[in-house]
Amino acid sequence: MSQNLETAGPPTVEITVAGKSIKAREGETIIHALWQAGLGHEIQTGCVGGVCGACTVTLRFKDGRRGGTDLACLRPVEEGMEVFPFPVDALAGPPPVSDPDADKLRAVFPTVDRCTKCDNCTVACPMDIPVMDSVLRMQKGQFEEVAEDFTTCIHCGLCRAVCEDKVLPHTMGLWVRRSLGRSVDHPALDQTQETTMSDQAEQEWEHLLNCDDKERLQRAKAFRAE
């Protein structure tokens, strides 16, 4: 396999994954390089598109280039890269509450005040979420901003895994978002949606049962075009 890689296509680089040396095509992701080498089992995967957060790894370069944490399904290989699987266990947090505030957060997460502002969590986040700033916002109860911060969170857990003070930033962010969601007046929302939907459905049935074939066909084409 590595012979083919060397004679055709883009240049190759050499990386090590969990101590095993493999050749990879420049520009391909760590996961694709592992699959090519028959070592896909070394790193767990899910979506292979940067969405599920399953393929967390730590990276190191002996020549002093900056390593850190990343997602193996998104990170392209580089010459001399050393890859270490770094699976992060899921952690079921406490249940959300209605009308969350800083006191309610502290009651379930006393860890929130342990933050030493080291910023490791922000550096570790593959989605560029300002995790440390968000923890500081949690301390002040600025939950709308926190919810916004965590909008793009893929729940990889890296920020939690690298936090030496066990502050649990991701788990708290999730709790804030769920608690805010729980505080929305769902029955009123559901009722409005239900009424609108049932009115639309009624009209649609009425039309389907009574219009002629030609009109029905035109309507279907217009719907498909949309």
Q: Which residues bind ligand SF4 (CB under 6 A)?
A: 53, 115-121, 124-125, 127, 129, 131-132, 135, 153-159, 163, 165, 167, 169-170
Helix segments in the chain, DSSP class H = 2-7, 30-36, 102-108, 120-124, 131-140, 143-149, 158-162, 169-182, 186-210, 213-225
Q: Which is nearer to ligand FES, 127 or 180 (CB)?
A: 127
Which positions from 53 through 72 interact with ligand FES, judged by CB under 6 A?
Answer: 53-55, 71
Among 172, 168, 170, 159, smallest CA distance to 114 is for 168
Q: How far is the CB of 152 from ligand SF4 (least distance, A)?
A: 7
Q: Which is nearer to ligand FES, 51 or 102 (CB)?
A: 51
Q: In the beta sheet, which residues pair with residue 12? A: 25
For 183, residues 6+ apart whose C-beta sits below 8 A from its C-beta are 98, 99, 100
Q: Under DSSP, is residue 71 helix (H, G, I), strand (E, B) or coil?
A: strand
* Residue 45 interface partner, choices ligand FES, ligand SF4, none, CB cut-off 5-8 Å depending on type: ligand FES
Q: Which is nearer to ligand SF4, 5 or 71 (CB)?
A: 71
d(CA 60, CA 66): 7
What is the greatest pairwise CA distance in the chain? 75
Q: How far is the CB of 72 from ligand FES (least distance, A)?
A: 6
Task: Rule CB under 6 A: say whether 136 interacts with ligand FES.
Answer: no
Q: How far is the CB of 59 from ligand FES (least distance, A)?
A: 14
* Residue 71 interface partner, choices ligand SF4, ligand FES, none, CB cut-off 5-8 Å depending on type: ligand FES
Task: Rule CB under 6 A: say whether 45 interacts with ligand FES.
Answer: yes
d(CA 28, CA 16): 15
Q: Which is nearer to ligand FES, 45 or 183 (CB)?
A: 45
CA terminus-to-terminus distance, the chain? 47
Q: Which is nearer to ligand FES, 88 or 131 (CB)?
A: 88
Q: Under DSSP, is residue 59 helix (H, G, I), strand (E, B) or coil?
A: strand
Task: Rule CB under 6 A: say whether 47 interacts with ligand FES.
Answer: yes
Which residues lie near ligand FES (CB under 6 A)? 45-48, 50-55, 71, 73
